[in-house]
Amino acid sequence: MAKRVVILGGGIGGTTVANRIRKALEGEVATGQVQLALIDREGIHAYQPGYLMVVFDKMRPEEVRREEARLLHRSIQLIKGEVEKIDSPANKILLKGGTEVAYDILVVASGSVIHPELIPGFIEGAHSFYDLENAQKLRTALHGFTGGKIVVSVAGMPYKCPVAPLEVTFLLDDYLRTQGIRDKTEIHYTYPIPKVFGIDTVAQPMQRLMSERGIQIHVPFNVDKIDPAGKTIKGVEGDVLPYDLLIAIPPHRGADFVGASGLGDKGNWIPTDRYLLRAEGKQNIFVLGDATNIPISKAGSTADYEAETVTQNVAALARGEAPTSRYEGRVYCWILTGLAQATYIKFDYLHPPHPPTPSFAHYWNKVIYNRTYWDLTARALF
Amino acid sequence: MTGSDGPPTTPTAPPTRMVVDARGSWCPGPLMELVRVIKEEPVGTEFELLSSDEGSRKDIPIWLNKAGHQLVELRPDSGFDRFIVRKTHE
């Protein structure tokens, strides 16, 4: 009887790991010994790092979405459906509507979900760029902006792409200069801890850049509520900042079905072995990307590197071997520091990042990656 | 223990302790992990935060002082530090 490997989620992690598992088990899949299926709610794949590019007219909306079926190898079954629950003792998934999908090995790549409603006033009072619709709204708002106070604020943790608040701040600064209204605009940056980023090797150079560009810093600032009528944002520390345009990062949580399945912590993140990427206490469930509780970047790069390990471990288990491949915490993320310059952070569990001086070359590498993502990462052709 | 002449007391349960292994957490960083879990857990919870980021020795006490939570203990270990933190208010 064929072994059935099921992947939940058609984002960066789910799509690339499905295609990589297919390659790693090419013979078994071709002879029918292994069957592969991917479950996705919409069947549309979004390149989420592109949303910020859409805000600043660096990518068009249609460039950040593709049909999932066009990205998956033809031997991978695409099931469109919304997961209600994983019944892990019975090795099956229940979809809304009642369909059941059985598995022998499960890969959870269900990502994170934004919850702006958790902050009072967020939906009415703040712009964000964490989905395509809101990214387009923010782009429109910027086109109509003629000067005033802009506040960039992290309103909840954890959040996807930890460097994104830095990036949107630097891009704003550069954009306003090109529009000739930087001198009519104050940019305020808030962050929940007493510096502009989590560790010194990144925070110090980023803070220097902000100071050079006249960006005002408010730390620590943990968002309490937003007053859309009065156009203010209040921190639990007591500070109140007025704004004309607010760009905020919404709180994130894991997928609801993770909680309903009894597999998650309080935020619906799945406790996961940080090396084997296996769900704690589950022999045949692997997890990658935002869905894990591992305390590193929730970012596409993380999912991409983790996919290497999950692929090897799924292939080993499918062949009746012990999974031994280890994820060592590798991540590589660009940080856009302007409309045509960038730096990057590269690190693993043992080695912290040291971002180089921002340059056009690093920016150009990011642009190339944006264009080659669909083949390089999603289809895993190389 | 109470003194023999003191009023009888009901033994209280030890605080719940949660281990937060943030070793290798360079992005977003151990302090961001601590801020996250402190928001989620009830008052009285103790957190055992493991950090390999040297900056944590400075940042975490500063933030705890501003946020009004308690640093119970800072214990250097092999290649990392162990912070015992108690949530004291919502």
Question: Residue B60: which of B86, B27, B90 has the closest Cα?
Answer: B86
Q: Give the pLDDT confidence score for residue A157 in this predicted structure.
A: 86
Rounded to whole angstroms, how far apart are CA atoms B36 and B15?
A: 19
* pLDDT at A236 > cutoff 50: yes
Rounded to whole angstroms, how far apart are CA atoms A186 and A30?
A: 60
Q: Which residues contact A28 (CB under 8 A, 6 or more apart)?
A: A3, A34, A318, A319
pLDDT-derived band at B1, boundaries 50, 70, 90: very low
Q: Which range among A137-151, A299-313, A353-367, B56-70 shows the weakest confidence by mean pLDDT? A: B56-70
* pLDDT at B5 > cutoff 90: no
Cβ pair A73, A19 in contact under 8 A: yes
Mean pLDDT of chain A: 97
Q: Give the pLDDT confidence score for residue B10 in this predicted structure.
A: 60
Cβ pair A51, A23 in contact under 8 A: no
d(CA B22, nearest CA chain A) in Å? 6
Q: Give the pLDDT confidence score for residue B8 in this predicted structure.
A: 56
| Domain identity same for A216 and A96 | no
A220 to B28: CB separation less than 8 angstroms, yes or no: no
Cβ pair A225, A250 in contact under 8 A: no
| Domain identity same for A145 and A245 | yes
Q: Which of B20, B26, B67 sits opposite A199 (nearest CB)?
A: B26
**Averaged pLDDT for residues A153-162:** 93
- Helix ranges restricted to H, chain B: 30-40, 56-67
Q: Which residues 255-284 of A are in CB contact (within 8 Å) with B?
A: 266-267, 274
Percentage of chain B with pLDDT > 70? 87
Instruction: Give the tens place of pLDDT for each residue, B43-74.
Output: 999 999 999 999 999 999 999 998 999 999 99
**Averaged pLDDT for residues A134-159:** 96
Output Rg (C-alpha) for chain B, integer angstroms: 15
B20 to A349: CB separation less than 8 angstroms, yes or no: no
Cβ pair A286, A14 in contact under 8 A: no
pLDDT-derived band at B11, boundaries 50, 70, 90: low
Q: Give the pLDDT confidence score for residue B2 in this predicted structure.
A: 37
Q: Which residues contact A268 (CB under 8 A, 6 or more apart)?
A: A253, A254, A255, A256, A258, A259
Q: Give the pLDDT confidence score for residue A156 in this predicted structure.
A: 86
pLDDT-derived band at B9, boundaries 50, 70, 90: low
Contacts of A193 in chain B (CB under 8 A): 29, 31-32, 35, 59, 63
Rounded to whole angstroms, how far apart are CA atoms B28 and A16?
A: 24
Cβ pair A129, A55 in contact under 8 A: yes
Maximum distance among all Cα pairs of chain B, rounded to whole angstroms: 54
Q: Which residues contact A288 (CB under 8 A, 6 or more apart)?
A: A13, A17, A107, A108, A109, A277, A303, A306, A307, A309, A310
Q: Which of B21, B29, B66 sits opposite A199 (nearest CB)?
A: B29
What DSSP string describes A141-178?
Answer: HHHT--SEEEEEEE-SSS-SSTTHHHHHHHHHHHHHHH
| Domain identity same for A126 and A237 | yes
A222 to B35: CB separation less than 8 angstroms, yes or no: yes
Which of A252, A268, A285 finishes a domain? A252
| Domain identity same for A105 and A182 | no
Q: Which residues 29-88 of B are in CB contact (within 8 Å) with A?
A: 29-33, 35-36, 39-41, 53-55, 59, 62-63, 66-67
d(CA B14, nearest CA chain A) in Å? 21
Rounded to whole angstroms, how far apart are CA atoms B13 and B5?
A: 23
Cβ pair A47, A65 in contact under 8 A: yes
Domain parsing of chain B, residue ranges: 17-86
Q: Which range among A65-69, A144-148, A187-191, B64-68 shows the weakest confidence by mean pLDDT? A: B64-68
Question: Residue A198: which of B21, B82, B63 has the closest Cα?
Answer: B63
Given B5, B7, B11, B27, the catalytic residue: B27
Size of interface A-B (CB pairs under 8 A): 85
Phi, psi for residue A345 in degrees, rounded to 5: -125, 135
* pLDDT at A187 > cutoff 80: yes
* Cα dihedral: A192, A198, A202, A208 (round 10): 30
A361 versus B10: the higher-pLDDT residue is A361
Which of A221, A252, A283 finishes a domain? A252
Residues facing A338 on adjacent strands:
A341
Instruction: Give the tens place of pLDDT for each residue, A352-366.
Output: 999 999 999 999 999
Helix (H) / strand (E) containing A317? helix A300-318
* pLDDT at A310 > cutoff 90: yes
* pLDDT at B6 > cutoff 80: no
Cβ pair A22, A29 in contact under 8 A: yes
Residue A52, domain CATH: 3.50.50.60
| Domain identity same for A103 and A123 | no
Pick the CATH number of B17-86 from 3.10.20.30, 3.30.450.90, 3.40.50.620, 3.30.110.40: 3.30.110.40
| Domain identity same for A235 and A282 | no
Rounded to whole angstroms, how far apart are CA atoms A152 and A159?
A: 14
Global pTM reads 0.93
- Report DSSP state, residue A182: G
> How many domains, chain A?
2
Helix (H) / strand (E) containing A316? helix A300-318
* pLDDT at B24 > cutoff 50: yes
A350 to B24: CB separation less than 8 angstroms, yes or no: yes
pLDDT-derived band at B14, boundaries 50, 70, 90: confident
Contacts of A162 in chain B (CB under 8 A): 27-28, 32
| Domain identity same for A119 and A238 | yes
- Is-catalytic flag, B42? no
| Position A351 in a domain | no
**Averaged pLDDT for residues A310-326:** 98
* pLDDT at B13 > cutoff 80: no
Helix (H) / strand (E) containing A203? helix A200-212
Q: Which residues contact A180 (CB under 8 A, 6 or more apart)?
A: none
B25 to A197: CB separation less than 8 angstroms, yes or no: no
CA–CA distance from B28 to each of A167, A254, A296, B42 (Å)? 14, 17, 6, 23
A192 to B32: CB separation less than 8 angstroms, yes or no: yes
For the sheet with A100-102, list strands across it. A83-87, A92-95, A100-102
Contacts of A297 in chain B (CB under 8 A): 27-28
Percentage of chain A with pLDDT > 70? 100
Which of A204, A225, A252 finishes a domain? A252
B28 to A195: CB separation less than 8 angstroms, yes or no: no
| Domain identity same for A234 and A152 | yes
Q: Which of B21, B25, B59 sits opposite A193 (nearest CB)?
A: B59
Instruction: Print the domain residue range for A106.
Output: 3-111+255-331
| Domain identity same for A230 and A274 | no
Contacts of A201 in chain B (CB under 8 A): 26
Q: Which of B30, B31, B40 sits opposite A266 (nearest CB)?
A: B40
